[in-house]
Amino acid sequence: MYRILVVAHAPLASAVVKVVEDILGQDAPVYALDTRIDQTPEGRRKQAADMINELLEDGELLLLVDFLGGTPSNVVIPYLGREGVDIVSGFNIPLLFKAVDWAREGRAVEEAAMALKAYGSQHIERVADRLTSKA
């Protein structure tokens, strides 16, 4: 089972992980790494290294970052070449829920990451369009 580390501008990572845990259970394999403005660049990198290395000890790791080009993505992109690591940027709550489901099903992280890109996009909707499609 891969585990999921959400890496985002504080307090987003902690906040979405709490949402996931509240809805899917405290045993959801999801963790938070908030990047804070009061951290030094070296401090952020060390914190990320410590968490990622620890999580990788028990299997594969899916890194979810808020957007490419921001500090969180700059911190974790160097791990892209590590075995068992995949990275998806631009997550949303449905994507997180599905990532947890697939982790619990035992999917491989690369397979999940590839499918999550489409899944997350499909779950951004203009709600009024649903009325039109049902008419």
List the structure tokens of 104. 């619990």
- Do residues 103 and 3 make contact, with C-beta atoms less than 8 angstroms apart? yes
Instruction: Say whether residue 83 binds another protein (CB under 8 A).
Output: no
Q: Shortest gap between Cβ of 60 and another protein (angstroms)?
A: 20
Rounded to whole angstroms, the Cα distance separating 71 from 12 reads: 13
Beta-carbon neighbour count of residue 101 at 10 Å? 13
Q: Which residues on neighbouring strands pair with residue 87, listed in sequence order?
A: 63
Residue 28 CB-density burial (10 A; 0-12 exposed, 13-18 middle, 19+ buried): buried
Name which of residues 14 to 43 contact another protein (CB under 8 A): 37-43
In the complex, what is the shortest distance from the CB of residue 47 to another protein, in angstroms, rounded to a whole number? Answer: 13
47 binds another protein (CB under 8 A): no
Shorter beta-carbon distance to another protein: residue 25 or 43: 43
Total of residues contacting another protein (CB under 8 A): 18
Among 12, 21, 47, 74, binds another protein (CB under 8 A): 74
DSSP state, 25? -
Q: Residue 77 interacts with another protein (CB under 8 A)?
A: yes
The residues binding another protein (CB under 8 A) are: 9, 37-43, 67-71, 73-74, 77-78, 80
